[in-house]
């Protein structure tokens, strides 16, 4: 199956929750799932935004919005329980909500560290803790956790983000080895820069997200979220462990395994260039 060819009935009748579903990758996942016949809850801290996105998402499946703070474990559990009550099961849990900070590590406050850990790690943990036992009980299901290339490779000025995304990758790959025995799949999503609002968020001081994610790395065009969503659903259907997009990122990841010191030196040079660029803005 092509990574971008999802049959119209591939997820017919299945139920899904997508956190961070009001925009970006979450909204794209919602569109792809509904187009493939799934019944989807797009959950987001921005409840009205989730409702608007759900209303604009049409297809053979259905979508509704829900206000959700993923840092509230009880609220995540309540949403999972409500879907199970409504549909009798939960087939797909997409732990996708996330935030970022870009800037010098010494400028990060403890409040910012706590905020990114709460959303990017605890938010995923809360989704797993709520959905995974349900899937074990029903003998099937799939958990999809959104990480990043920052969860597979590392460069400074995104230190807090990289920390949390490495944790998501580790959680996902470890859980996968347990989940197989219960008939449950686990996939972790590790894209490079995706064309979403997060490219312009979390900027600290003179650092600029698009400079870092795109121009600074020689990337002319970020990943299309709809293309990424199709790759993710293809991975779910094939029960693959990891999604890495685009192809250049897969090459870079393989290179890291072959020449780790070269990749480390390249990352250090990249960070130095970013710091010089930021210094020119001060």
Closest to 144 measured CA to CA, from 251, 249, 26, 248:
26
Q: ∠ at Cα 20 (17, 24), nearest 5°? A: 115
What span, in angstroms and rounded, lies between the C-alpha atoms of 27 and 18?
Answer: 8
At residue 251, φ and ψ (nearest 5 deg) are -65, -45
Evaluate whether 45 touches 99 at the Cβ level (below 8 Å).
no
What is the DSSP pairing of strand 15-19 with strand 242-245?
A: unpaired
Closest to 45 measured CA to CA, from 21, 73, 74:
21
Catalytic site residue from 132, 161, 212, 213: 161
Respond yes or no: is residue 132 known to be catalytic.
Answer: no
Provide DSSP, 33-89: HHHTT-EEEEEESSHHHHHHHHHT--SSSEEEEEE--TT-HHHHHHHHHHHHHHHS-
Taking the CB of residue 90, how many other CB atoms lie within 10 A of it?
A: 25
Catalytic positions, written as ranges: 161
């Amino acid at each position: 199956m092509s990574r971008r060819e999802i049959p119209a009935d591939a997820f017919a009748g299945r139920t899904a929750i997508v956190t961070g579903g009001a925009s970006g990758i979450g909204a794209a996942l919602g569109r792809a799932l509904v187009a493939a016949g799934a019944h989807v809850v797009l959950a987001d801290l921005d409840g009205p935004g989730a409702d608007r996105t759900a209303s604009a998402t049409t297809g053979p499946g259905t979508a509704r919005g829900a206000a959700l703070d993923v840092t509230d474990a009880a609220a995540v559990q309540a949403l999972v329980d409500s879907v199970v009550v409504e549909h009798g099961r939960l087939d797909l849990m997409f732990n996708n909500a996330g935030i970022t900070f870009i800037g010098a590590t010494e400028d990060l406050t403890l409040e910012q560290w706590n905020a990114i850990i709460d959303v990017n790690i605890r938010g995923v943990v809360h989704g797993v803790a709520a959905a995974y036992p349900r899937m074990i009980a029903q003998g099937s299901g799939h958990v999809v956790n959104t990480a990043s290339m920052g969860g597979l490779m590392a460069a400074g000025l995104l230190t807090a983000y990289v920390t949390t995304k490495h944790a998501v990758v580790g959680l996902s790959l470890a859980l996968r080895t347990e989940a197989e025995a219960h008939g449950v799949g686990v996939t972790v999503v590790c894209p490079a820069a995706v064309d979403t609002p997060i490219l312009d968020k979390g900027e600290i001081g003179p650092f600029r997200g698009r400079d870092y994610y795109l121009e600074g790395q020689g990337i002319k065009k970020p990943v299309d979220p709809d293309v990424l969503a199709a790759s993710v659903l293809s991975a779910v259907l094939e029960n693959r462990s990891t999604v890495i997009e685009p192809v250049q990122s897969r090459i870079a990841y393989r290179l890291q395994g072959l020449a780790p010191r070269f990749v480390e030196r390249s990352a250090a040079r990249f960070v130095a260039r970013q710091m010089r660029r930021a210094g020119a803005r001060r």
